[in-house]
Amino acid sequence: MMRTDTPAPAGAEGERAVESPHRPAPSAPAPRPASTARRRARRETLAGYLFLSPWCVGILLLTLGPMLVSLYLAFTDYNLFDSPRWVGLANFSEMFSDDRWWKSVRVTAVFVLIATPLKLAVALGVAMLLVRPRKGQGFYRSAFYAPSLIGASVSIGIVWRALFQDDAVVDRSLSLFGWDGGGWVGDPDWSMPTLIALSAWQFGAPMVIFLAGLKQVPRELYEAAEVDGAGAWRRFRSITLPMISPVLFFNLLLEIIHSFQIFTSALVIAGPGGGRAGGPGDSLLVYTWYLYEQGFSNLRMGYASAMAWMLLAGIAVVTAVLFWSQRRWVHYEEGGR
Amino acid sequence: MSAPTGTVRTARPVRPPRGGAGAPARRGARSVLWHLGALALLAVVLYPVVWVLGGSLKPGNEIVGSLELLPTDPITDNYERLADGIAGIGIETFFLNSLLVALGSVAGVLFSCSLAAYAFARIRFAGRNVLFTLMIGTLLLPVHVLLVPQYVLFQKMELINTYVPLLLGKFLAVDAFFVFLMVQFMRNLPRELDEAARIDGCGHWRIYWTIVLPLCRPALITSAIFSFIWAWNDFLGPLIYLNEPDKYTVSLGLKMFMDQDSLADYGGMIAMSVAALLPVLLFFLTFQRYLVEGAATSGLKG
């Protein structure tokens, strides 16, 4: 092994030399550690970027580069074969007078606003049911998680469509209670509730996260509150919610972003038809589907890019509001409340 | 918080002891209630899955209308008809294509995401914090912003109707979720291990390969299973990039089934849905611990 009392040459040999414990420490004056430290820092940086190189290529080639291209295309008319033609803000102004675009915005907004809170409420409720250690707890936790793994697949979409058809399982079960709703999937007013039900069915993923958060809440807090005569609702409001608010924030953020991007389930539940079909009365024409239709069925890639940036803007606004609001309702541990 | 702690302390001894008269009975009743509630919920959650398993063994015209979970007279016709294929393409083609894409994804994710995670978790380099923030940012970026430009890119490279567009991103650590999951895991490994190895003269590559990777097994297994299942279920990617039926994955095959002969062969479609779900369900039953733990921990430390 080489010694380090002379400035070691760069390269692989040098690397070992500097790390070597046999460095003659007593004879080393002040300047040398500084220069070795700098050299070491440079090598660390080189190593870091070597390890990171696939990721760097990926983010440039498949994320940042495409984002720039997309931003440019948003201001053009582009059909993939002729070269893009600059049209300024025409795509955006067309959007605002496009009835189907507005429809897709409304459909997606309704889905995000109803499906997300519903799913999280179910997830939190079930997590609170499961948090006390009892026999079978692990089993239930796993079983309830399963739908999150398969829920977004085409298969489950087909199953859902079958369950909610006219004279199918849901319709006939409800008829037993004297409510003949007909087929949910064929009815413009009821196809969205069908999709929301599918989303709520996948409560397992946020539930697992809630459970982990609930387990961190010290039991003494509840015992103390109980002694003070706080009822169940009061304990939930004053202890559970503040204590798990970081987890709630995280779940809310993830699920909202997720809901904005709903695609496969809506497409399958809307049923056969492919191409231009947004379900009964376009009631399931979610935003991403309309984007797909414009970009890939109609080959209006400029318009689709503009739509994509509007989606990104929408998600960014919601995310920003969420982050801004967290000061008011999210309590973090540090800082001693 | 409202409860003054002083009162709590003085109140505690006054409180009736837990094992007082009537308490065990009440606790027993509560336990029964708990189990009833959990079982009822379990029934709702599992109903669709059991229903489709049973339905695939019923005659096609009875599937939708019947409330019974299991067929009185199970038949395997639906599966037998599947063997003839859809639209002239053998059913096994779709499954092999899906398997190829899913296994390719697993390989890509394990390779590229663990490298990136090691850099973020274990190497101090200039610009690390900026890049880490960028990586977290991509976690929140909707894929739809990239659909059109990526398609244009792959179209210019004449890679449409190949699996490259579906797999390239996996080998370039585009799935930030897995990078994040592995970073969280690697950060919790004791630092002394690599410091000792460095003193012994190990470079980063050897530390990564011989120390960190073996210790990361749980995170690697979790990532492998998730990436397999997600690739298997993926619909949007194949829908955009694959346009010849013999390249189709199972998701696309199912959609084709749905568009072409949903009325003609309902039973076959349900049977294929079950066949598409089975690998995922088997994975789940085998590895449920890793999956549930992975889902829990990756979320918590955000």
What ipTM describes this predicted complex? 0.85
Angle formed by the axes of helices A154-163 and B23-55, to 10°? 100
Cα of first residue to Cα of last residue in chain A, in angstroms, is: 55
Q: Which residues pair with A86 in a beta bridge?
A: A76
The pLDDT of residue B13: 40
Element (H, E) at A126: helix A99-130
Q: What is the DSSP-derived secondary structure letter of residue B199?
A: H
* CA distance linking residue B237 with residue B124, whole number of Å: 36
Residues on chain B touching A253 (C-beta within 8 angstroms): 140
CATH no. of A92-329 = 1.10.3720.10
Residue ranges of domains in chain A = 26-73, 92-329
Q: How far apart are CA B302 and CA B299, in angstroms?
A: 6
Residue A273 has what pLDDT? 59
B144-163 confidence digits (pLDDT tens): 899 999 999 999 999 999 99
List, in sequence order, every beta strand (DSSP E) within chain B: none
Best interface-test mutation with B: which of A128, A144, A158 has the largest number of B CBs within 10 A? A158
DSSP code for A245: H
> What is the identity of the amino acid at B202?
C
Measure the CA–CA gap between B209 and B118, rounded to whole angstroms: 10
Check CB contact under 8 Å for B147 and A291: yes
Residue whose token pair is 């002729």: A82
For chain B of 302 residues, list the mean pLDDT of each consecutive stretch of 10: 36 42 68 87 91 87 77 82 76 93 97 96 92 92 92 94 96 93 90 85 90 92 92 95 93 85 73 93 88 69 34
pLDDT value of position A312: 95
pLDDT of B24: 67
- Interchain CB distance below 8 Å, B142 and A261: yes
Residues of chain A with pLDDT under 50: 1-29, 274-275, 335-337
Do B271 and B56 touch, CB atoms closer than 8 A?
Answer: yes
CA quadruple B289, B294, B296, B297: dihedral, nearest 10: 130
pLDDT of residue B264: 64
The domains located in chain B, with CATH, are 91-300 (1.10.3720.10)
pLDDT attached to residue A155: 94
Q: Model-level pTM? A: 0.85
- CA A230 – CA A217 distance, rounded (Å): 17
Which tokens go with A46?
């080189």
DSSP B127: T
Q: Return the structure tokens found at A277.
A: 């079909």
Residue B225, judged by CB atoms within 10 A of its CB (0-12, 13-18, 19+), counts as buried
Q: Within the 212-271 window of chain B, which residues sit less than 8 Å (CB to CB) from chain A?
A: 229, 233, 235-236, 239-240, 251, 254-255, 258-259, 262, 269-270
* Interchain proximity A51–B115, CB inside 8 Å: yes
Task: Look up residue B136 and give its two tokens.
Answer: 């977290």
Enumerate residues 160 to 189 of chain B having a beta carbon within 8 A of any beta carbon in chain A.
168-169, 171-174, 179
Checking DSSP bridges between strand A85-86 and strand A76-77, what pairing results, if any?
antiparallel
Cβ contact A158:B274 at 8 Å: no
Please tell me which of the candidates B173, B199, B251 has its beta carbon nearest to residue A55.
Answer: B173
